[in-house]
Amino acid sequence: MLCPNLNELPPPPPHRTGWPWTEGGPGFPEKMPNGSGWPIISIVTPSYNQGQFLEETIRSVLLQGYPNIEYIIMDGGSTDKTLSIIHKYEPWLTYWVSKPDGGQSDAINKGWRKSTGVILAWLNSDDTYRPEALLTVAEIFGDQQNVVLVGGAGNTFNVSGTANIAGKVFKGLDPYAMLKRSGGVPMQPSIFLRRRVLDDVGYLNTQLHLVMDWEYWIRIGLYYEPEHFRGTNKVLSNNREWKGTKTNTAWRKVCEEHRQVFDAVFNKSSSDTKLEQIKRRAYSASYRKQAILAKRNKKFIESTRSLIWAWYWRLRYFPLSRQKKNKIKVDF
């Protein structure tokens, strides 16, 4: 499908201006710079009761101007205004459905199975793409056939999308660092994959509902050598930080899922000695993170208990004489 232009889409709500309301993306030449046709890019948006943000998300995809796109929305049976927004943009959607599913990972997997794109990504229903995001990743994938993952920079905005809270650049995909820190995840909406990743690594883990992206990047990083990843400093997406995100409302479950991933990765039969070397450090970092989050949420007994577990794992890893020389870094 060819992306529509600004005049073809429904008018934006009153008082909404700028990208992607009153500004559209650039036009595209018929061919890529290398002379080949533009590859199909398939974007899946998992959605559930986030109608307040969904229209902006949809427009940020459709107004990319990209000449060969599949856009799929997998809604989990929303009861807010989500369906009216989907119907509003239905002519430009490749596929959509609204019915109960097995969670976000399940919805994304089903969307990817419906897709045919050479390049894949998912964009959550409260996030947006920046102009020329798809152009940027298509050119990188087109020029470097050995690349299976492209990561870009991203911004984090407040709930209204009016203030830029933070920015993050893509620094590569280091699975050992992500495990060791119990975090350090790249900006998810700025990550794009070549379809062969699904054949080589598989789909998202449907048993995970909060850290599925983190686990997926680890799995990909353990499977491929670093030369198969490319980064760009261009800002590809805007991530939205607000109280209703699952990461903020289910912080305890995030830490539990981290350790669920640890159990699977570290207990798997492997000749990778690096994994054994960071195992106890990873568990310690996870419990320390839980202690910090518990204290932030005024769960002081839980915070103390988690700190005890963090020290238990740390003491198992570090001799006492090395404690002051080695500090465990925790990333969020």
pLDDT of residue 88: 97
Same domain, yes or no: 125 and 178: yes
* Highest mean predicted confidence (pLDDT) among 24-28, 241-245, 303-307: 303-307
* Residue 167 within a domain: yes
Q: Is the separation of the CB atoms in 286 and 309 below 8 Å?
A: no
Closest CA to 219 of 207, 204, 199, 231: 204
pLDDT over 50 at 196, yes or no: yes
Same domain, yes or no: 269 and 187: no
Strands 41-47 and 69-75 turn out to be: parallel
CATH number at residue 94: 3.90.550.10
Same domain, yes or no: 42 and 89: yes
pLDDT over 50 at 86, yes or no: yes
pLDDT of residue 19: 94
Given 211, 244, 277, the domain boundary residue is: 244
* Residue 1 within a domain: no
What is the CB neighbour count within 10 angstroms for residue 235? 22
Could you give the CA distance from residue 166 to residue 222 in angstroms, rounded to a whole number? 28
pLDDT of residue 199: 97
Per residue in 38-66, pLDDT tens?
999 999 999 999 999 999 999 999 999 99
pLDDT over 90 at 71, yes or no: yes
- In this prediction, residue 324 has a pLDDT band, given cuts at 50, 70 and 90, of very low
pLDDT of residue 242: 63
pLDDT over 70 at 247, yes or no: no
pLDDT of residue 320: 45
Q: Please enumerate in sequence order all residues whose Cβ is within 8 A of that of 85, keeping only pairs 6 or more positions apart, or say none.
A: 51, 54, 55, 58
Same domain, yes or no: 173 and 108: yes
Could you give the CA distance from residue 255 to residue 248 in angstroms, rounded to a whole number? 12
Same domain, yes or no: 218 and 103: yes
Mean of pLDDT over the chain: 91
Same domain, yes or no: 240 and 254: no
pLDDT over 50 at 76, yes or no: yes
pLDDT of residue 271: 75
Same domain, yes or no: 79 and 210: yes
* Residue 237 within a domain: yes
* Residue 155 within a domain: yes
* Residue 331 within a domain: no
Scanning the structure block, which residue is given the tokens 């577990």?
309
What is the number of domains present in the chain?
2
pLDDT of residue 25: 86
Same domain, yes or no: 197 and 148: yes
pLDDT of residue 13: 93
Angle, vertex CA 102, rays to CA 98 and CA 108, nearest 5: 70
- In this prediction, residue 325 has a pLDDT band, given cuts at 50, 70 and 90, of very low
Could you give the CA distance from residue 84 to residue 100 in angstroms, rounded to a whole number? 17
Average pLDDT over residues 112-121: 98
Same domain, yes or no: 291 and 170: no
Per residue in 148-170, pLDDT tens?
999 999 999 887 777 677 789 99
Determine the structural domain holding residue 239 and report its residue range: 6-244
Of the candidate ranges 73-77, 152-156, 259-263, 312-316, the one whose mean pLDDT is the lowest: 312-316
